[in-house]
Structure 1
Amino acid sequence: MVRLPQAQGHLIVMTQSAIGLNQRQVIHRQVWARKKALRALYHDFHRQLFENCPAGSVLDIGGGTAHIKESRPDVVSADILSFPGIDVVADAHRLPFRNEIFDGVVMLDVLHHLERPIEFLKEASRVLKPGGCLAMIEPAMTTIARRFYDRFHEEPVDMNADPFALVAIDPDRDPFDANQAIPTLLFATAPACRRIEQTVPSLRVRTVEWHSLFAYPMSGGFQKWSLIPGSLVGPMLALERKVPAPVRKHLAFRMMIVLQRI
């Protein structure tokens, strides 16, 4: 049992057996345990997420199998599905926390799964303290990466979608449904970022960076295969950081987005 402060003024008490485990979560955790390269990559992602948040309390949304706690055990992990290590089972569109409680909110490959991303951004802003940050790492539809996502990734890419559109709540929606184009549509251009700030005026887009050039696609992600040993992930990431930003924008498989609560 875990005890967490405040859910609309109450104490959240969740047991890990509250909801049965999803088989996809079990498979992901097995791959995580087996692939050293995957763990090395994600620990670096976690480091970047935390470094872009102020010191203090951090909420991890869409925690999945809670592997982020290997990098920071005190993070509060929330997910719509239960799993050992998940502290709060909740919908990201309706977070069970009082206003202005967290210094940081972090997410890794979550935004493109959300049915109503703008509604979520408003909710994330609500639970952030002024000056707090929302840091996300998401798929990037760059010149090179989009070809791979279109052809080889199981999640769809719909560049014609309108992430600002009002969407009716679907109570039967699979939480693994996704559109990998959503982060790119929302944050890849200056006009899109300005529209975000106009739509959610309590947030400012602080940075949008392009990364995950070579090591991530070579790792195979949560697929069973990998083309890179764990020992080479660190040197490969160091090489990636030397690639000029204009080139990265065409090669990157991921984007880091940081928004700040004002």
Structure 2
Amino acid sequence: MTSNSAGLNQRQALHRDVWQKKAAIRLLYQEFHRQLLADCGEGNILDIGSGTAHIKEVRSDVISTDILAFPGIDIVADAHRLPFAHGAFSGIIMLDVLHHLERPIEFLKEASRVLKPGGRLAMIEPAMTPLARRFYDRFHEEPVDMAADPFAMVTTDHKRDPFDANQAIPTLLFSTEQARKRFEHAVPALRVRRIDWQSLVAYPLSGGFQPWSLLPASWVKPILAFEGQIPAALRKLLAFRMTVILERQ
């Protein structure tokens, strides 16, 4: 094993260690996964960027893929070149993955290829709302570059760290009507079916995968229920996450 591979594996192990120690983050992510699975419906489901394969705790028959090997990962693969047949899946789910991909448009074309007609790609990603962007800029280790062009052609960097990211990518692709039209022109096989805004209080209080948390596990369900009652117009200003549902034509 190279030193670089060992470092990547250590990061995954640390991630898994936090997952096992923090009940609040487990409850939050299990709810996220349940939402994504419900948006995809029945049939074969592919989870891209599974990391340490948390999805298996919610639905064990989901096919878990990641660019890095780890216990629970079924297939190691680059999301830009998926080793599956055309129309192999009824649904694809992703949680905090798109903003890590080097060539998001190329990936989304590849995702449309392996989806059946009518199949859905459901993802939850960081949202650069007026409130959340201040938090991400100041307190999150991953960068936010709102000047980036997610539609630009990018030369593949084979030495790129899989954990590199731009948290602004999902917002730049899907947050406005103009961006969604540009996306549908670039990837005509997919249509935007729904954009939703969520995670106003629970997620930032949880600390994510940092070792600290201000969110007791017993508070997770009541806070999520409260967040669900907040009007959509207000969530769009305050939310830390966005749900994006795309459908194969």
What is the TM-score with the length of structure 1 in the denominator? 0.92
Structure 2 match to 1:169 = 156
Q: Quick one: distance in 1 between partners of 2:244 and 2:195?
A: 5
| Counterpart selection for 2:59 from 66, 72, 87 | 72
Q: Shift in Å at residue 194 of structure 1? A: 0.9
Q: Distance in 2 between matches of 1:213 and 1:148?
A: 12
1:223 aligns with 2:210: yes
**Amino acid across the alignment from 1:102:** F
Q: Which residues of 2 match residues 109-120 of structure 1 at below 5 A?
A: 109-120=96-107
1:54: how far off? 2.5
* Counterpart among 235, 246, 249 of residue 259 in structure 1: 246
Between the aligned partners of 1:119 and 1:54, the Cα distance in structure 2 is: 25
Equivalent residue for 1:208, pick from 185, 188, 195: 195
Unaligned runs of 5+ in 2: none
TM superposition shift of 1:102: 0.2
Paired residues for 1:1-262 under 5 Å: 22-262=9-249
**RMSD (Å) for aligned C-alpha atoms:** 0.8
**Partner amino acid, structure 2, of 1:121:** L
Structure with greater proportional helix content = 2
SS in 2 for 1:205: strand
> How far off is 1:22 after superposition?
1.0
Cα distance between partner residues in 2 of 1:228 and 1:166: 41
In 2, the alpha carbon distance for the partners of 1:231 and 1:69 equals 23
SS in structure 1 of the partner of residue 99 of structure 2: helix
- Amino acid aligned to 2:227: E
Normalised by the size of structure 2, how large is the TM-score? 0.97
Partners of 2:188 and 2:211 lie apart in 1 by: 42
Superposition misfits of 4+ residues, deviation over 3 angstroms:
none
AA paired with 1:202?
A
SS in 1 for 2:130: coil
In the alignment, the residues of structure 2 paired with residue 62 and residue 52 of structure 1 have an alpha-carbon distance, to the nearest angstrom, of 18
Q: What amino acid maps onto 2:26 in structure 1?
A: R
Taking the aligned partners of 1:108 and 1:41, their CA distance within structure 2 comes to 12
Gaps of 5+ in 1: 1-18
Once residues 148 and 71 of structure 2 are traced to their aligned partners in structure 1, the CA distance between those partners, rounded to angstroms, is 34
Tell me, what secondary structure is at the counterpart of 2:153? coil
- The one-letter amino acid of 2:135's match is F
Identity %: 69
1:51-93: per-residue Cα shift (whole Å, max 9, x none)?
Answer: 1003100000000000111000000000000000000000000
Aligned residue number for residue 8 of structure 1: none
CA distance in 1, matches of 2:51, 2:248: 25
SS of 1:92 mapped into structure 2? coil
- How many residue pairs match? The answer is 244
